[in-house]
Amino acid sequence: MTSLFDLVIRGGQVVDGTGRAAFAADVGVRDGLIAEVGQIPPGAGGEEIDASGKIVTPGFVDVHTHYDAQATWDERMHPSSWHGVTTVITGNCGVGFAPCKPDQRHMLIRLMEGVEDIPEVVMEAGLPWTWETFPEFLDTIDGRPFDVDVGVQAPHSAFRVYVMGERGAAREAATPEEIEKMSELATEALQAGAFGITTSRFLGHRTRAGELAPSIDSAEAELQGLARGVRRAGGGVMQLITGYDKPAAGEYAVMRRMVETSGQPLSFTLIASQDNGWQEYVRLLAEDQPKAAPMRGQAYPRPTGTLFGLDLSFHPFSLNPSYAPLANLPLAEKVERLKDPELRARLLAEEPQDTNENVLKQIRSDRNMYVLGDPPDYTPPPEAEIGEIAKRRGVSRKDALYDALLENEGRAVLYRPGSNYLDGTTDAILEIMRAPHMIFGLGDGGAHYGMICDASYPTYVLIRWVRDAAPHEKVSLEWAIEMLAAKTAEAMGLTDRGVIAVGRKADLNVIDLDRLTLRAPHVVRDLPENGRRLRQRAEGFTATIKNGQVTYRDGEPTGALPGRLIRRGGESQALAAE
């Protein structure tokens, strides 16, 4: 007897992504699409998943990742796909690998290494470089199997280098003719299927040597050229990181004029730091939306932070002169050498040295730092700070940091909170998340392999803000799922996913919310050339379904790889034309 459905998810609480109250229902899947939401007869599915006591959600859509390189050599977009994400959008922050002439490859690699902390040796070994133009880059990815769908945006910094060569990398002013060439590249990329054009005005985006990213101080005329390219293409989005060193009102006005020129949506990074104007951005988004298309803030729903350790990119002693001979040793040998009292004394007496001031600022030993723990605590109490521990032990702060790094055979991870944790509270996060015209983003999956591991934010949202929050902080489950799936899909024009409804793509999660646990980030060496990266897993995802196929059961891969490259204007947006 032929089954009515390929897959039935039976007896769960459906949180459909629309924001309406959760309801009990079965979900039937046929030919990769949702075919029924309601009461389905027993035995109607070729495969069935018991979702009793669990929630059933749409697959999550992460609009801010950096899987540009990973998608050329890997089939699994970890860590994102461990956390219920079934669609990723990469190519953010104006950095990427196309278009690129053969003699410019190293420039783009150096830029990605500095901005996104992907080791140069990994990219040199892993990138196949079977493209020059952006359409050719998409063709390289097209047809590759993935555990998620992958959409790509085109990067402004790569445009500059492609058109201007060394002058573009050196951030020299573009001529009107060069601006028009970049505009044409934007149109070409979007017409080939790019979802958007991205850029950065953020001074923190630098090469490892400290050189600013090519796009950082581009004139507004150049940004307008990109916007004209978007208008000519007739669709697409723009993504931008503002110059937080500049007044918020001025930066907002620049973005607003880009939207008026392009006629298409724009989203930008919106996190809370001291004196970065975040409250003004929130106000302007609420009160001064352009008529041409929406502007949105990309909010990260957790304190941001940098991770340090002996097996990570940096730690408080990693740039001290006496540490250099140890830097590339195996972890066990490194730990053994660090136990030497004479070496310890030298390292404690030295100061770090580097040409990149941003890196030196990050690793300064006098900045707040905590042992992250497992499960990780991203909002640690003041008494857990390393300096407070040092006082209680009667030792120096540097001594306490040194000892902490040696814990767990050198695998300890130290955490320094950054944005979104002002004065030791999460009030700013809640204000940003709850403000109008916000979407979740900034997970940065595929990047920051040795300093940051933020792609786990969907799991964090469900634990911290839905299940375990204090009454004044709690958000509804329905709101959280809408933000994680429907709102992000809508922001990218993905009309075929993000909601559980008949005819939509069967991208789904079955989640045991009571059991949901976020594990600590840990180091693995599974990149090209045995490269190192941080990965972070979760417990409580009973199943993740992509295009109607179960890709993960209890966090373990099934072997199914139904995800593919998706292109703007393709099947993913077909419903918009109906």
pTM for the model: 0.95
Calculate mean pLDDT across residues 331-358: 94
Six-digit token pair at 342?
A: 């004479």
The average pLDDT across 472-501 equals 97
Task: Place 204 in a pLDDT band, splitting at 50, 70 and 90.
Answer: confident
Tens of pLDDT along 373-420?
A: 999 999 999 999 999 999 999 999 999 999 999 999 999 999 999 899
The per-residue pLDDT for 270 is 96
pLDDT confidence of residue 576: 40
Mean pLDDT computed over 491-509: 98
Any idea what the Cα angle at residue 252 is, between residues 248 and 258, rounded to 5°?
155
Domain 5-58+508-514+539-577 belongs to what topology? Urease, subunit C; domain 1 (2.30.40)
Report the half-sphere exposure of 392 (CA within 13 A, side-chain side): 8
Radius of gyration of the chain (CA): 24
What confidence tier does 209 reach under pLDDT thresholds 50, 70, 90? confident
What was the pLDDT predicted at 366? Answer: 86
The 10s digit of each residue's pLDDT in 345-376 is: 999 999 999 988 888 888 888 889 999 999 99
Q: Is the pLDDT confidence value at 578 over 60?
A: no
3-state secondary structure of 371: strand
Confidence of residue 323 (pLDDT cuts 50, 70, 90): very high
* 575, pLDDT greater than 50: no
DSSP string, 493-517: T-TTSSS--TTSB--EEEE-GGG-E
Residue 423 predicted with pLDDT over 90: no
Residue that is written with structure tokens 């499960």 in the block = 375
How many Å apart are CA 193 and CA 564, to the nearest integer?
Answer: 13
Q: What percent of the chain has pLDDT over 70?
A: 98
Domain extents for the chain? 5-58+508-514+539-577, 61-304+421-491, 306-416
The Cα–Cα gap between 560 and 459 comes to 22
Residue 74, pLDDT > 50, answer: yes
CA distances from 185 to 142, 154, 521 (A): 20, 9, 38
Of 108, 147, 135, the residue nearest 124 (C-alpha): 108
pLDDT digits (tens, 9 = 90+) for 23-58: 999 999 999 999 999 999 999 999 999 999 999 999
Whether the predicted pLDDT of 449 surpasses 80:
yes
What is the pLDDT, as a whole number, of residue 577?
38
Expressed in angstroms, the distance from the first to the final Cα of the chain is: 35
- Residue 292: its pLDDT value, please? 95
For the CA atoms of 311, 312, 313, 314, the dihedral, rounded to the nearest 10 degrees, stands at -90
Q: For the segment 107-126, what is each residue's pLDDT rounded down to a tens digit?
A: 999 989 888 888 899 999 99
For position 572, what pLDDT does the model report? Answer: 63
CA angle 240, 242, 245 (to 5 degrees): 165
What CATH number has the domain spanning 61-304+421-491?
A: 3.20.20.140
Lowest average pLDDT, out of 77-91, 221-235, 344-358, goes to 344-358
Higher pLDDT, 198 or 571: 198
The band of 3, judged by pLDDT with boundaries at 50, 70 and 90, is: confident
Q: What's the whole-number mean pLDDT along residues 168-184?
A: 97
pLDDT digits (tens, 9 = 90+) for 231-261: 999 999 999 999 988 999 999 999 999 999 9
User: Which residues does 363 contact at the CB level (< 8 Å), separation at least 6?
Assistant: 308, 314, 315, 316, 318, 319, 352
Tell me the mean pLDDT in the region 328-351: 97
